[in-house]
Amino acid sequence: MDQRLEDVIALLELEQLEVNLFRGDSRDIGSPQVFGGQVLGQSLVAAYRTVEARACHSLHAYFLRRGDFDAPIVYQVDRSRDGQSFTNRRVVAIQHGEQIFHMSCSFQVTEPGMDHSAAMPDVPPPEALRDFQSYHEELLAELPEKVRRFFEHRRPFEFRPVRMPNYVNPEPLPPAKQVWFRTVDRVPSDEDRVHRCLLAYVSDYNLLDTATLPHAASFAHLQMASIDHAMWFHRPFRVDEWMLYAVDSPSASGARGFARGSIFTRDGRLVASTAQEGLIRLRDSAIGEPARG
């Protein structure tokens, strides 16, 4: 198995400290704080560790404080409800004695019902597109150091955008994009929960920055951070097979951007939906005044 994938799977294998209490390691992926997808994925793992024979169908989370990637994170699970069909959990992530994140998630037993879904956008197949990483390698010398660290990180997922972004000289674009993605190697487990937790991890990529596209803003001049994140799982899938992330941003205002995403399998099945609001501030170098903390 590819070392990058092995590492992220190990990252999602939490240590149990006590009943309903778990601890996870952190990773530096080149961002100023712990990657939000890491906390999402680990929180969902913690919740799954207290649930039997049910699949997560939705989660709603808030990022409260910046996470420290040099320290582990403790996850406390509250068993809010165990019903006949649905189970609800609340997870609080704690670091340095403070809450940095909390999430509510719901699980359901498998049952039949009405079935329909939106159509997948008509886009080129992943084989016709360039890999994100190869494009980044060409750009590295032109990017500021603080931005370069993020793009130099070797990710456990392969991304192939339908439209390659221009991070050096951005131009105004419609607030929408489509990106094919999958893990860099085959996931050794067939367990549905493993693939859902990995999808929660990767869902934080390619989402919030969609709100910046109409404004032609360089990453070097932006302060960005996730505020909340919601996700709905509709159907089973494998995250090591190509999936399309179709994202649009209907609004940006008040130093916040809003984005929503639909995740399709290659054969056009809608398997998950996402929504996120995040902080988007222009730094002092772009607007001539100090950036607020």
pLDDT one-digit tens code per residue, 166-179? 877 889 999 999 99
pLDDT at position 168, please?
A: 73
27-41, 197-211, 274-288: segment of lowest average pLDDT: 274-288
Q: Which residues contact 65 (CB under 8 A, 6 or more apart)?
A: 95, 98, 99, 100, 101
Catalytic residue among 38, 218, 226, 273: 226
pLDDT digits (tens, 9 = 90+) for 129-166: 999 877 666 666 677 666 667 777 789 999 999 998 88
CA atoms within 13 A on the CB side of 288: 0
Q: How many domains does the chain have?
A: 1
Q: Does residue 154 or residue 286 have the better pLDDT?
A: 154
Residue 205 has what DSSP assignment? T
Q: How far is CA 277 from the centre of its chain?
A: 12
Catalytic residue among 204, 209, 218, 262: 204
**One-letter amino acid for residue 56 of the chain:** C
Q: With respect to residue 10, please indicate whether it lies within any of the assigned structural domains.
A: yes
Mean per-residue pLDDT, 56-78 = 97
Work out the number of other CB atoms within 10 angstroms of the CB of residue 144.
11
| Residue range of the domain that includes 70 | 3-110+128-287
pTM value is: 0.93
Answer yes or no: 26 catalytic: no
| Cα–Cα distance for residue pair 35/67, rounded to 1 Å | 8
Retrieve residue 216's tokens: 């032609």
Q: With respect to residue 116, please indicate whether it lies within any of the assigned structural domains.
A: no
C-alpha R_g of the chain: 19
Q: With respect to residue 253, please indicate whether it lies within any of the assigned structural domains.
A: yes
Strand-pair partners of 176: 248
Answer yes or no: 70 catalytic: no
pLDDT at position 218, please?
A: 78
Answer yes or no: 3 catalytic: no
pLDDT at position 146, please?
A: 67
* DSSP 3-state of 150: helix
Provide the edge-to-edge strand list for the sheet that holds 86-95.
Answer: 15-18, 21-24, 73-82, 86-95, 98-108, 55-63, 222-233, 270-282, 256-265, 243-253, 176-183, 157-161
Q: With respect to residue 199, please indicate whether it lies within any of the assigned structural domains.
A: yes
Q: Could you write out the DSSP letters of every residue in 28-62?
A: --SSSS--HHHHHHHHHHHHHTT--S-EEEEEEEE
Q: With respect to residue 268, please indicate whether it lies within any of the assigned structural domains.
A: yes
pLDDT digits (tens, 9 = 90+) for 236-269: 999 999 999 999 999 999 999 999 999 999 999 9
pLDDT surpassing 80 at residue 22: yes
Of 51, 293, 80, which Cα lies nearest the Cα of 193? 51
Q: With respect to residue 183, please indicate whether it lies within any of the assigned structural domains.
A: yes
CATH code of the domain containing 208: 2.40.160.210
Whole-number mean pLDDT of the chain?
92
Q: With respect to residue 117, please indicate whether it lies within any of the assigned structural domains.
A: no
Dihedral of alpha carbons 132, 133, 136, 138, sign: negative
pLDDT surpassing 80 at residue 220: no
pLDDT at position 292, please?
A: 30
pLDDT at position 63, please?
A: 98
- Please give the biggest Cα pair distance in the chain: 58
| Cα–Cα distance for residue pair 150/31, rounded to 1 Å | 6
